[in-house]
Structure 1
Amino acid sequence: MNRILIISLLLAVLFAIDWYVYQGALLAIKGTSNSLRNVVKYGYWSLTVITFSIIIFYNFGNPDWLKGTSRSLIFTGIFINYFSKVFAAIFLFGGDLVRGVKWVVSLFQNPSPSAGGNTIPRSEFLAKTAMVAGTLPLVAMSWGIISGAHDYRFRRKTIYLPNLPKSFDGITIGQVSDIHSGSFFNKTAVKGGVEMMMKEKPDLLFFTGDLVNNESSEVEEYINIFDKLKAPLGVYSVTGNHDYGDYKNWSSQAEKQQNFKDLIEAHRLMNYDLLMNENRYIELGGEKVAILGNENWGAGRFAKYGDLSKAYEGTEEAAVKILLSHDPSHWDAQVKPNYKDIDLMFAGHTHGFQFGVELGDFKWSPSQYAYKQWAGLYTEGNQHLYVNRGFGYIGYPGRVGMPPELTIITLKSGNKV
């Protein structure tokens, strides 16, 4: 199926949605002034014309300007528009279905209809309800961009490790994950999030992958912001699935490899100690803890670059081992069954789907249907996993009910009372 046919079918579906919802909108504003109806009419169909023009131009023109943040925001606007209309259409269709059933029943109850027929008019109340229903996701998702995208929130946990050396008792670890610098549209807000973390003065800082969406160049203008993340015991980082450039069509393999080299250089410029299937020891008071860093590895469909056996090598005698690994599915797949002396793992990746509900101990997100461990702290026996909800965003440039996260973990010696 060629592109012309695909785009034609897409536009036909979108037009059908537009026409169907517009009929409901006309009924919802029935009885209002002509000026209001004209505003709705011309505003509604002008948006359709603009949307169709963008889709056609993007697919068949030369849209050099339509890339990066601009493309993300424009197509997010189109998605929100039609997602809201589909929501409204569901309500309208429910009403039309009931209306159709009533009409069929009326044929049997009155086999000799009058000249006017037995037409059953649409419910004006239901039309108004459908418009309200369509407005809710529009408002929520728009607010998720305007306010939720950079509404950084701290998540604080205390984790007890029986073998933690006394010198490390009470140290704080800051975690940032899933920056996705190519998605940012508010540099000032991003800088504010980094400043919030630095005010906490953590002893140790971890970054658990996905610095960019596709290209290392995305982070260039943010290096002088994220290099402000510092800690007395060091800043350690690992790569995530987006850091390898696997989701972009490169002109050559050499270009892709150079992109990854540039990403490694970005970590160096930010003074992050990038652990690529390797480890480091940190020392306090003559006592040591091992930090292991695994390249991206997950149990799902994403490419596997990690080698935990290499990251683990040389840490066998460490009293406590802390693993950085981007994908939380790594914990169940390899860490728990094969490395029972890895005490604590830090991950990210899920973003909490950038959408969910968290009220007290209750939390829900579509992310939980893909990942068993998707946000927060998980403990089994003496092993712990913490999954960060992400600093940035990808695809939809916002968050609804799942704000971006800055994590502060306090380590304590002994067992939790």
Structure 2
Amino acid sequence: MLRFFIFIAIILALDIYAFQAFRFMVKGRWGTILYFLITVFIIGGMVYQFSTGGRRNMSVLTQFFIVSFVILIVCKLVIIATMFGEDIFRFFKSAFANLPAGRQERNSDSFYFPSRRKFVSQLALGLASIPFASILYGVIVGRYNFKVLKYTLTFDDLPEAFDGYKITQISDIHSGSFDNKEKVDYAIDLINEQASDAILFTGDMVNNLASEMEPWKESFGRLKAKDGKFSVLGNHDYGDYVDWESAEAKVENLDNLKTIQKDMGFNLLLNEHRFIEKDGQRLAIVGVENWGAGGFKKAGDLNKAITGLNKDDFRILMSHDPSHWEFEVKDHPDHFHLTLSGHTHGMQFGIEIPGWFKWSPVKWRYKYWAGIYEDSRQYINVNRGFGYLAFPGRVGIWPEITVIELKKGGATA
């Protein structure tokens, strides 16, 4: 509770500071009151929604307050940064002006501190309009702005029968957040258009409850691949973020989700593997339960999942959290040619110029957070996610459908 009040105090202090940029716009006492009432309304709405189950049920009202809160914080941080820059300038200007030389120059012994300049306030508001517009675009358009990202990975020891084999990876559906069937169906058709040999889903089908997937069973049941659809569980699939009335209810929820996945044609791998065979050769699809660093569930058992595999089997590992690859997989005595993960969503916020630049604040939490990485001839692809969670939008980090083609010999393209 103390942390909560400290947090509110910090927000209000920042709001008072940011108010300096609005002074030239606000006329009279009621304008000032309205400015602060907006902040109180947004923070109060957030607190109320989440204290009454908002995290579990992402209603339209809950999403409204989340978006409003993000806009409030991001835009005012931009304003504060701009105003603070001017305050540093004002401080040094004042320090010089109050030295003997400065007093002599301005012919006055009185203390001098320069006032704020109106154009700086206008600049601050102008700069804040950029994230404001970006966030609105991310909510209205970005969350369903599906992108197909294609990679070709080359392996010397890929069985010849699988030269040119295509895999489509999707991750982090978070079906409890969806509100537009037409857009989701468009993405399903987009996946099927890739005509991949196999579809691999790397966890977080729901936000919390198996029932969230019920309205979308028909849509995702339409996914087709010649060699099948494979899936693993993500941290949200276990229902760990719900206050269940009983342990039995939580178990039943997970069992229901497993049944739903089966009904949609997914082969759910729970620390186990399957073989895909072609012309007398094979590759192994290995799937582990969630294993995540930093307090996330560690149900994944890699050694159990590979029991029965030969050392020279070509392996594609499905593991929801990329920290598993960092801490257990890439330094494992056995070789895992390709690992497919998700989980990070790219934080649903960042800047990307394909092939040139990639940044998101999530990089401070996850070393491997989006795209292809390589270590010791082992690759991982961290999918940016199909859906969205909490914040109902994406800014710069778009929902992703990954298509990976496996090639034998040569360099990676």
Identify the residue that residue 128 of structure 1 maps to in structure 2.
122
Which residue pairs with 1:84 in the alignment? 75
Q: Which residue of 1 aligns with 2:389?
A: 394
> Which residue is equivalent to 2:329?
335
The match for 1:242 is: 236
Q: C-alpha distance in 1, partners of 2:157/2:242?
A: 44
Q: Which moved more, 1:372-381 or 1:115-124?
A: 115-124
Distance 1:323 1:128 in 2: 53
Query: How far does the alpha carbon of each residue in 1:341-395 deviate from its partner, in whole angstroms, 9 at most, with x for none?
Result: 3222111112222222332243222233332322222233432222211111223
For the residue of structure 2 that corresponds to 1:51, the secondary structure is helix
In the alignment, the residues of structure 2 paired with residue 59 and residue 205 of structure 1 have an alpha-carbon distance, to the nearest angstrom, of 36
Are 1:409 and 2:404 an aligned pair? Answer: yes
Secondary structure at the aligned position of 1:337 is classed as coil
Change (3 A) 1:120 1:342: closer
Partner of 1:26: 23
* Matches of 1:298 and 1:11, distance apart in 2: 31
- Evaluate the alpha carbon distance shift between residue 358 and residue 11 of structure 1 in structure 2; reply closer, same or farther with a 3 A threshold: closer
18-27 or 128-137, larger mean C-alpha shift: 18-27
The equivalent of 1:314 in structure 2 is 308
Q: Deviations over 1:221-243 (max 9, x none)?
A: 12221112121100000011111
TM-score by length of 2: 0.87
Using a 3 Å threshold, how does the CA distance of structure 1 residues 23 and 410 change in structure 2: closer, same or farther? same
Q: For the structure 1 residues 65 and 107, does the alpha-carbon distance in structure 2 shift closer, same or farther, using more than 3 Å as the test? A: closer
Map of 1:99 onto structure 2: 90
Shift of the 18–202 alpha-carbon distance from structure 1 to 2, 3 Å rule, reads same
Unaligned runs of 5+ in 1: none
Equivalent residue pairs, number: 407
Partners of 1:285 and 1:365 lie apart in 2 by 43
Matches within 5 A, 1:156-305: 156-305=150-299
In the alignment, is the contact (CA less than 8 A) between 1:315 and 1:321 conserved in 2?
A: no
Residue segments in structure 2 that go unaligned for 5+ positions in a row: none
Distance 1:99 1:384 in 2: 52
Query: Is the CA contact (8 Å cut-off) linking 1:69 and 1:184 kept in structure 2?
Result: no
Percent identity, aligned pairs only, is 38
Out of 304, 317, 320, the position equivalent to 1:323 is: 317
Further displaced range: 272-281 or 207-216: 207-216
Letter in 1 for 2:292: G
Residue type matched to 1:324 in 2?
M
3-state SS in 1 of match to 2:67: helix
Asked whether the 8 Å contact 1:351–1:389 carries over to 2, the reply is yes
Cα distance in structure 2, aligned partners of 1:385 and 1:203: 19
My pick for the range that moved more, 233-242 or 393-402, is 393-402
Q: CA deviation at 1:292?
A: 1.0
Please say which of residues 114-123 and 331-340 is displaced more in the overlay: 114-123
Do the aligned residues in 2 keep the contact of 1:58 with 1:66 (CA within 8 Å)? Answer: no
Call closer, same or farther: CA 1:6–1:177 in 2, change over 3 Å.
closer
The DSSP-based 3-state class of the residue aligned with 1:273 is strand
Using a 3 Å threshold, how does the CA distance of structure 1 residues 69 and 307 change in structure 2: closer, same or farther? Answer: same
Q: Deviations over 1:135-167 (max 9, x none)?
A: 222122222222221111111111222233332
Give the distance between the partners of 2:363 and 2:50, measured in 1 at CA: 35
* Residue 108 (structure 1) shift: 4.3
Distance 1:38 1:65, change over 3 A: farther
1:68 pairs with one of 58, 66, 83: 58
The residue type equivalent to 1:389 in the other structure is R
- Decide which of 144, 153, 162 is 2:138's aligned counterpart: 144
- Residue 88 of structure 1: CA displacement? 0.5
How big is the shift at 1:261? 1.3
Is contact 1:290–1:318 with CA below 8 Å preserved after alignment? no
